[in-house]
Amino acid sequence: MQQTVQPPLKFLPPRLTPWVVSFVQTCLPFWLWFSKGIPRVEVEGGERLVRLYEQFEAGKVRLLVAFRHPTLDDPPCLMYLFSHLLPQVAQQQGIRFRRRPHVLFVYDRGLPLWLGSLAAWGLPRLGGIPILRGRLDRAGLKSSREQFVSGQYPLAVAPEGAVNGLSGFLNPLEPGVAQMGFWAVEDLRKAERPEQVLILPVGLRYYYLRDPRAALDKLLSRMEADCKLPPVKSAHTSQEFLLARILRLGEHLIQVMQRFYERFYVPALPNTDLANVGKAPAEDLELLARLQSLSDLALRVAEQHFGLQPQGDLIERRHRIEQAGWAWIYREDIPDISSLSALELGLANRVASEASFHLWHMRLVETLMVFAVRPVPEQPSLQGLAETALRLWNLLAWIKGKNPAELAPPNLGPRLARFSIGDPLSVSERWPLYQANRRQAVQTLTQDLQAEMERLLKGKPYPQEVVTG
């Protein structure tokens, strides 16, 4: 995160560049394997996607892809699905597309801040559309609305409010995807165009292709050493043994963080009912309640600094804090930073530095709230254990003052990314309901989308016969 004052964040308009798209599509299999450890991508229900894409090319439908987004690896995997697996399935059905399939992404404007200048250059040229979360981003909404209605490729949006790192657990969906669907119907009707508007739910789960227990054992040992926990030795690395170590690590982190916030921050927070959370013995509070209270407290610290009221759920509060912090770093009220005096620049840098520091609490909750929403299950799968351990690694990295997005995550072995194509939801058929009650129509569509994406998570377990690339 920036420690000095910066010019305002500019909208990065999409600049779809065919040669960039073609180059990235060609490199995707190698990049996914060597950079992300994903040598295989599969799709279940690819025939349904082929039919919809064929209808899209024929001008019969406008397609919004609502895809599962548990990790930062998902967008390139989704791009692989469209550019590599979709043509394979189409060829099996004797269908030829007019051009190689592609998909346009709506992405978080903060992504290039983490990934650097190459992402800021490349994402627009892949047709990506940035959106600022936590506030009304007119430029981003206008561009995404235009691309949805008139773009040459389908639009992909992640309807979850945050990345949770758990491929088997879906966050509550935000209403933005449903609202975009109704806006598209409205725009098409005004233009007297006949296309139907569809939202296509797409599930995604990851599976390790070989047993990750040995690598997971080493990762847990490293984290235990970081916390100065006594090492636990065992001749076997059973799932029960690994779960016990993960729970011990989590319990230790909660206790340490509770003491930290109680000592240094609770006394400065007025009218808080959380002052005794850190004092309660572990057995007196359920894990879920303790995690939620700790997340709430960390967000209150940041909210107090930025003058915000704690309104909404954890995800909404986190987005508002992020935007408040960016407003203090990327200053829209300073037309030209170079025109500032040394005195003014020093003060502006101080504001930016303090904003960056207080955003640390929000980033901490970004990882912590995964466990606050869904603690470790009593009998998790080996995949679930590995993903939970990686979330703990992210949490430790933030506490140690490092940005996990800038670090190579621990390698627990090669993975399979498996997509499942859901049943499309017709937004056009719901237009009369939207005209009668807009809020209710958006809410109902969001609930139906949530239900379909939840269904996709409960599909057949791996392995199974699917199209593989």
Calculate the average pLDDT of the chain.
88
Residues 360-389 have a mean pLDDT of 75
Residues 234-238 have a mean pLDDT of 72
Q: Give the SS3 label for residue 426.
A: strand
Phi, psi (rounded to 5 degrees) for 249: -60, -45
pLDDT in tens, 14-27: 999 999 999 999 99
Does 267 score more than 80 pLDDT?
no
How is the chain split into domains, by residue range? Answer: 18-209+414-468, 213-406
Give the CATH superfamily of 18-209+414-468. Answer: Glycerol-3-phosphate (1)-acyltransferase (3.40.1130.10)
Contact yes or no for 209/413 (Cβ under 8 A): yes
Residue 37 is predicted with a pLDDT of 93
Does 463 score more than 80 pLDDT?
no
Q: How far apart are CA 21 and CA 66, in angstroms?
A: 21
- The structure tokens listed for 342 are 């040394």
DSSP state of 93: T
pLDDT in tens, 82-103: 999 999 999 999 999 999 999 9
Residue 280 is predicted with a pLDDT of 42
pLDDT in tens, 285-320: 466 777 888 888 999 999 999 999 998 888 889 889
Residue 62 is predicted with a pLDDT of 97
Contact yes or no for 428/197 (Cβ under 8 A): yes
Nearest 5°: the CA angle 339, 344, 346 is: 115
Does 331 score more than 50 pLDDT?
yes
Q: How far apart are CA 442 and CA 227, in angstroms?
A: 46
E strand or H helix that includes residue 200 = strand 196-208
Residue 417, strand partner residues: 41, 206
- Better pLDDT: 371 or 142: 142
How many helices (H) and strands (E) the chain has is answered by 16, 9
Q: How far apart are CA 62 and CA 181, in angstroms?
A: 9
